[in-house]
Structure 1
Amino acid sequence: MNVLPSGRMRFIAVAVILCAGFFWPTAFAHPLGEWTKLILTQHWPQTFCSVEKCTTNLSFWTLHGLWPNSGMRCNTSWHFNASLIEDLIPEMKKYWPDLRAPSSPQFWKYEWTKHGTCAAKAESLNSQHKYFSKALELYHKFNLTNVLKNNRIMPSEQHYTLDEVETAITSFYNVKTKIQCVHPGKGGQVQILGQIEICVDRDFQLIDCEKSTEEIWSNDIPAVAVSGQSELSVCDHSMPVYYPPVPSRS
């Protein structure tokens, strides 16, 4: 039986402790499912419906969701209950509608199950009412429709550069957002403005969004995905941006 000298044993013990101290912050600073950022996501109804074959006359950006940057479906036993947000439903129908099924609560149920149960790890969002009401509060606070309009970025048949859209948004929020487009098929030359993500920290203060694929919520399904190969992705600086207008009523 080999027995290590006591001096060497002490050296190994110290080395193990030092290594543990070195790796501990990285491994445990944010336990699995803990999030550091919320992504307030809004989409342009006309772009969504142009792909999903729905009809809408909405002339303002609507809520897609409020997503933590870590975790999905953190508590599948915590079921959505519309009666707990009954006072919010009229406002949600207007600003957070399911564009394909306006009378259905399935979109909200999906968002709660996938994202809300993870957001609820924060005390400020630890109920369905807190989660949905905070999303609405942030939506109104960071009024994307007005920000674009006030900077002369309006739905029309004209095209914009991505720089123009980015400048309009950044000049107001003073942070980097994530602007997503539906990209054209083969031979197409124009991308369609579809979705914009605005990020906040755990205190709901604006922070920069990352544009990399590290932000994993780009294509949320089933209630908001786009069909076929026309998926949303970060807009291309080399291509004009089309911000489709609301169809005129015949």
Structure 2
Amino acid sequence: MKSFLIFFLFALPSFSSVLQVQGFDFFYFVLQWPGSFCDTGKQSCCYPNSGKPASEFLIHGLWPNNNDGSFPSNCDPNRSFDSSEISDLINNMDAEWPSMACPSSNSYSFWAHEWAKHGTCAESVLNEHDYFKAALNLKEKADGILQMLSSSGIEPNDNSYSLSSIREAIKGGIGYTPVIECNQDESGSSQLYQVYLCADTSAANFITCPYFPTESCSSEIKFPSF
């Protein structure tokens, strides 16, 4: 009996750590149109300390998700964001993953939020550096979205376009059907806000989305300038 208790006590920590491992089935890679972030009337937007971002889709996040639509979040409160771990990525992240929230900032608090809420749930496959690097690599793969839309006559010029044409233009360029999220401008018009693409659990390649949430768009949506 004594030997059993000793074995149990030694086994308990490893068993506990297994319970804390968060599983997931795929990533949502989410890109945001800055013109729509700034054009809602409900919030202000501020350019980051690095200056006005380029007129392109910017990274919002890389989010572990499950096939049933559920998702893990805030998986390891003891694993805080450490900017020194991504020092070689900062210049790239300033350009591709800036914070547009007010007041203006160096974007570190935004990245810290994304790491705490989403990145810590992917630690079983990606450490902090690999997590942010993987998002930047996916952005490079999807960097032509604005050109894909432009090639289909869809421009960020405050005009409205069919939701289906936007979806098909991106699918034609990426090879996978995106999920489109809309918000509303100051007048209440539905506008192109975010593009969701799905990636495998290593965040290395795009895949067919296992789960499609209900899109928040009307059939015709505005594409605001920035």
Common topology (TM > 0.5) = yes
Does structure 2 retain, via aligned residues, the 8 Å contact 1:39–1:199? yes
Larger Rg: 1
Between the aligned partners of 2:205 and 2:92, the Cα distance in structure 1 is 23
Q: Say yes or no: does 1:112 pair with 2:111.
A: no
Paired position in structure 2 for 1:228: none
Post-superposition shift, 1:99? 0.8
Q: Which residue in 1 is equivalent to 2:68?
A: none
User: Aligned equivalents of 2:217 and 2:208: distance in 1?
Assistant: 17
CA RMSD of aligned residues (A): 2.1
TM-score by length of 1: 0.70
Q: Structure 1 residue 102: deviation in Å?
A: 3.6
Superposed displacement of residue 208, structure 1:
2.5
Q: How does 1:148-187 map to 2 (within 5 A)?
A: 148-183=149-184
| Separation in structure 2 between the aligned mates of residue 150 and residue 78 of structure 1, nearest angstrom | 43
Map residues 48-197 of structure 1 onto 2, 5 A cutoff.
48-51=37-40, 52-56=43-47, 57=52, 58-69=54-65, 70-100=71-101, 101-122=104-125, 125=126, 127-143=127-143, 144-183=145-184, 188=188, 190-197=189-196
Alignment gaps of 5+ in structure 2: 1-19, 66-70
Q: SS of the residue aligned with 1:86? A: helix
User: 2: CA distance between counterparts of 1:38 and 1:212?
Assistant: 14
C-alpha separation in 2, matches of 1:102 and 1:243? 26
Aligned residues of 1:42 and 1:61 also touching (Cα < 8 A): yes
- Matched residue, 2:26: 37
Query: 1:196: Cα distance to partner?
Result: 0.7
CA contact (8 A) 2:154 2:166 kept: yes
What is the percent sequence identity of the aligned residues? 32
CA drift at 1:74:
1.1
CA contact 1:93–1:102 (8 Å) conserved in 2: no
Question: In structure 1, what is the Cα distance between the partners aligned to 2:154 and 2:122?
Answer: 32
Matched residue, 1:236: 218
Deviation track 1:136-165 (CA, whole Å, cap 9, x = no partner) reads: 010111122333233332101321011110
- Taking the aligned partners of 2:84 and 2:152, their CA distance within structure 1 comes to 40
CA, structure 1 residues 32+78, in 2 after alignment: closer, same or farther (shift >3 Å)?
A: closer
- Relative to the length of structure 2, the TM-score reads 0.77
Matches within 5 A, 1:193-212: 193-203=192-202, 204-209=204-209, 210-212=211-213
Gap change, CA 1:206 and 1:98, over 3 Å in 2: same
Report the 3-state secondary structure (helix = DSSP H, G, I; strand = E; otherwise coil) of the residue aligned with 1:88.
Answer: helix
DSSP-derived class of the 1:132 partner: helix
Comparing 94-103 and 83-92, the one that deviates more: 94-103
| 3-state SS of 2:38 partner | helix
Match of 1:225 in 2: none
2:81 is paired with a residue whose SS is coil
Structure 1 Cα separation of the partners of residues 212 and 223 of structure 2: 20
Work out the number of aligned pairs and report it: 190
Cα distance 1:55–1:76, how it changes in 2: closer, same or farther (>3 A)?
closer
* CA separation of 1:104 and 1:157: change in aligned 2, threshold 3 A: closer
Q: Which runs of 5+ in 1 are unaligned?
A: 1-30, 214-232
